[in-house]
Chains A and B, each alone.
Chain A
Amino acid sequence: EPEVTQTPSHQVTQMGQEVILRCVPISNHLYFYWYRQILGQKVEFLVSFYNNEISEKSEIFDDQFSVERPDGSNFTLKIRSTKLEDSAMYFCASRGQGAGYGYTFGSGTRLTVV
């Protein structure tokens, strides 16, 4: 079964530091997403990415956040200057083209900002 791979599984960083979360989506998928889940809260949409550009972003996804697909396989989320409230599980997801595909999520990166 193809899967979405995320690294690292857990990252601890100091407030104000930059972090990069990495994802390898399923190889023939075309749509890529980042979601986050603060402990005890629901999963929230951050950003969607298609054809090498952002197609939609939420209010959470401010100037501190950026996404990139630097090569044909990786999809990254960068947080430039982390805040305590950025502590959360970050999930990458990908989807194939057409209505017959569901979204496949990775196992997540747990980001802890101290």
Chain B
Amino acid sequence: DAKTTQPTSMDCAEGRAANLPCNHSTISGNEYVYWYRQIHSQGPQYIIHGLKNNETNEMASLIITEDRKSSTLILPHATLRDTAVYYCIVRPGGSGGGADGLTFGKGTHLIIQP
């Protein structure tokens, strides 16, 4: 799986959009970008994934650059409950990362400030 780089931590004001960057400059053509988050002392939660087009669901939007070397997860209206560690994972397969066990990096600790 391609290596990803994320900032260690970020702050965002409640109600504002939270933009979480991820660098994956060594991504291969068949690799997707997945985002998961882990709220303290809970299991990870799938957020969104994409290959090259921008994606949006009820939780977030995923913006992937044209060269696919980086992406941004956008939480449009952050709430206090969005405080969590967010993991960007790059791997083959397009069905929610279901094929194999996942390799989690250190992620970004997003703190939503009231």
A, B co-complexed: no
